[in-house]
A and B are shown apart, each in its own frame.
Chain A
Amino acid sequence: MSRRVYLDHNASTPVHPDVVVEMLPFFAERFGNPSSVHAFGREARDSVDQSRERIAGFLGVAPAEIVFTSGGTESDNLAVRGLALAGRRGHLITSRIEHHAVLRTCQALEAEGFALTYLPVDQYGMVDPDDVKRAIRPDTIAISIMHANSEIGTVQPVAAIGAIAREHGIPFHVDAVQTFGKIPMDVADLAIDVMSFSSHKIYGPKGVGGLYIRRGTRMVAIQHGGEHERRRRAGTENVPGIVGFGRAAELRAREMHSEAERVRGLRDRLGLGIQARLDEVRLTGHPVERLPGTANVAFRHVESESIVLGLDLKGVAVSAGSACTSGQVEPSHVLAAVGLDLPWAMGAVRFSLGRSTTAEDVDYVIECVETVVAKLRRLLPTTTT
């Protein structure tokens, strides 16, 4: 295998070399517990606070409105459950294409007696803000809609939904794990009250994420055992991770805009290139309102896992849209929600590009996709003689 191309940036990204350099002293030299009162602890506390300021600065919010967590999943759990428990009982609104960190939390809350509305999406994976408005009840205590979907990349009309939520005085949570550091956002303009984000999607380390909680938002902590993070998230802070996260966010502020334009061009080159070479190929997700680096391509009558395997053997890393586990197909809940027929959904592959992706990489991937898919299609059962 001569060439390796990583097109799975929505799953994770390589840690930026500058981030690694910044993190290294915090493993063995500056290892103190930020809660300790001695010099080692104060040093760690200062570094955590500096990262908090960096991330707050990146978002244009106050440092006290940032809570560090162990990642996007914890942030989503804390946000949705924390808002629900603050309301004690009532009704929550979310969509059918949320990440499982939100969906499973909502289902757990439903089992505990909360009422849930799971909004549908259109063929592009877009939530209709009017549906949100219609779903609001007198006892609605929270709305949680993702900023962009990790599988198909559709960016939701968060500003319109936020305005509706604010008008009704309902706390609005946004899972921004896939957009934070990738596209510009202003939490005030978007009327967001609580927002989840993650480090390893933006060239930071794994195991660290964050939550923006607008000042005055009522939330209940779901993890107990300490006074950390202003009593909003108990547990010793992951200092090296937080330091790396802060540096990663700072770097994104510098690189995000130019990179988004470049990556968008490469993404379109990839999608158009594949469509020019192969028949029965369809791009899913919104044609315009889509993450710059995400192309979800469905290949009719080819099984996505065999495409992923074929590409992997050519050094190309991508993700399958539908998973076959123990012989049971589980078409992605997102592809099902956008109404993609099974023969298409079974062949959906996600290509997610990033800062290191080049035009040469994209051209190589187009060649590989053509070869792999054409070969798999030649194996397909046809009419018998």
Chain B
Amino acid sequence: MRYSATLIDHFLNPRNAGLMREPDAVGQGEYEGCGDLARFFLRVRDGQATEVRFQAYGCGPTIAAASVASELMAGRAVGDLLDVKAHEIEGALDGLPEDRRHAADVVAQALHAAARDWHQREDHRV
């Protein structure tokens, strides 16, 4: 198997998958090369992402990367999500094959977009 046991586990049992009702922020990442897509929903309390959910289309690694990121990001300050790096997500999956690194990129992009969305909504509220 070219994928780690952690990746397979997240692919088979995705955590926090599905739509979130009335999220405080939404962000999407897409990889044009192959059409892989991840969308994240955040529930935010006192500036922290208390709940993170996702939807995804793509290869197994993209689904697994979104799943592992949803666990990894829960409890973090939304501002920190702007700085999430793809290699952190890849590390949480115990690695990705060279030709599947884009899975972590798509997910990092989606998290950045969700964090930006929250900041924009905050600015709007102020």
Indicate, yes or no, whether A interacts with B. yes
Chain A interface residues toward B at CB < 8 A: 301-303, 305-306, 309-310, 313, 324-329, 342, 346, 376, 378-382, 384-385
Contact present for B58 and A303 (CB under 8 Å): yes
Contact present for A324 and B60 (CB under 8 Å): no
Q: Is B19 an interface residue (CB 8 A)?
A: yes
Q: How far apart are B90's CB and chain A's nearest CB, in angstroms?
A: 14
Given contacts A313-B8, A385-B19, contact A305 B26 (CB under 8 A): no
Given contacts A379-B57, A379-B63, contact A385 B8 (CB under 8 A): no
A350–B85 alpha-carbon span in the complex (Å): 36
Q: Which residues of B contact A313 (CB under 8 A)?
A: 8, 11-12
Q: Is B126 an interface residue (CB 8 A)?
A: no
Q: Which residues of A contact B100 (CB under 8 A)?
A: 327
Q: Which residues of A contact B39 (CB under 8 A)?
A: 381, 384
Contact present for A328 and B34 (CB under 8 Å): yes
Contact present for A306 and B60 (CB under 8 Å): yes
A306–B102 alpha-carbon span in the complex (Å): 15
Contact present for A303 and B17 (CB under 8 Å): no
Contact present for B57 and A381 (CB under 8 Å): yes
Q: Which residues of A contact B58 (CB under 8 A)?
A: 303, 306
Contact present for B99 and A325 (CB under 8 Å): yes
Q: Which residues of B contact A303 (CB under 8 A)?
A: 35-36, 57-59
Contact present for B59 and A381 (CB under 8 Å): no
* Beta-carbon nearest neighbor of A305 in chain B: B59
A49–B8 alpha-carbon span in the complex (Å): 50
Contact present for A329 and B98 (CB under 8 Å): no
Contact present for B59 and A324 (CB under 8 Å): yes
Q: Annotate B6-36 by CB proximity to A: 1 below 8 A, 0 otherwise.
A: 0010011010011111110010100101111
* Given contact pairs A302-B57, A381-B37, a sample of 12 additional A-B residue pairs in the complex whose CB atoms are under 8 Å apart: A301-B57, A303-B35, A303-B58, A306-B59, A326-B33, A326-B102, A327-B99, A327-B100, A329-B33, A346-B35, A379-B56, A381-B39
A342–B33 alpha-carbon span in the complex (Å): 13
12 example contacts (A-B, Cβ-Cβ < 8 A) are as follows A306-B58, A310-B12, A327-B31, A327-B99, A327-B102, A328-B34, A329-B33, A379-B14, A379-B18, A379-B55, A381-B56, A382-B55
Contact present for B63 and A385 (CB under 8 Å): no
* Beta-carbon nearest neighbor of B14 in chain A: A379
Contact present for A380 and B59 (CB under 8 Å): no
* Beta-carbon nearest neighbor of B56 in chain A: A379
Given contacts A313-B8, A328-B34, contact A380 B55 (CB under 8 A): yes
A215–B21 alpha-carbon span in the complex (Å): 74
Q: Which residues of B contact A329 (CB under 8 A)?
A: 33-35
* Beta-carbon nearest neighbor of A328 in chain B: B33
Q: How far apart are A132's CB and chain B's nearest CB, in angstroms?
A: 36
A24–B26 alpha-carbon span in the complex (Å): 63
Contact present for A385 and B21 (CB under 8 Å): yes
A384–B19 alpha-carbon span in the complex (Å): 7
* Beta-carbon nearest neighbor of B26 in chain A: A384
Q: How far apart are A326's CB and chain B's nearest CB, in angstroms?
A: 4
A385–B21 alpha-carbon span in the complex (Å): 6
* Beta-carbon nearest neighbor of B39 in chain A: A381
Q: Annotate B37-78 by CB proximity to A: 1 below 8 A, 0 otherwise.
A: 101010000000000000111111001000000000000000
Max chain A Cβ within 10 angstroms of own Cβ: one of B8, B21, B59: B59
Contact present for B57 and A309 (CB under 8 Å): no
Q: Annotate B76-87 by CB proximity to A: 1 below 8 A, 0 otherwise.
A: 000000000000
Q: Which residues of A contact B11 (CB under 8 A)?
A: 306, 309-310, 313
Q: Which residues of B contact A305 (CB under 8 A)?
A: 59-60
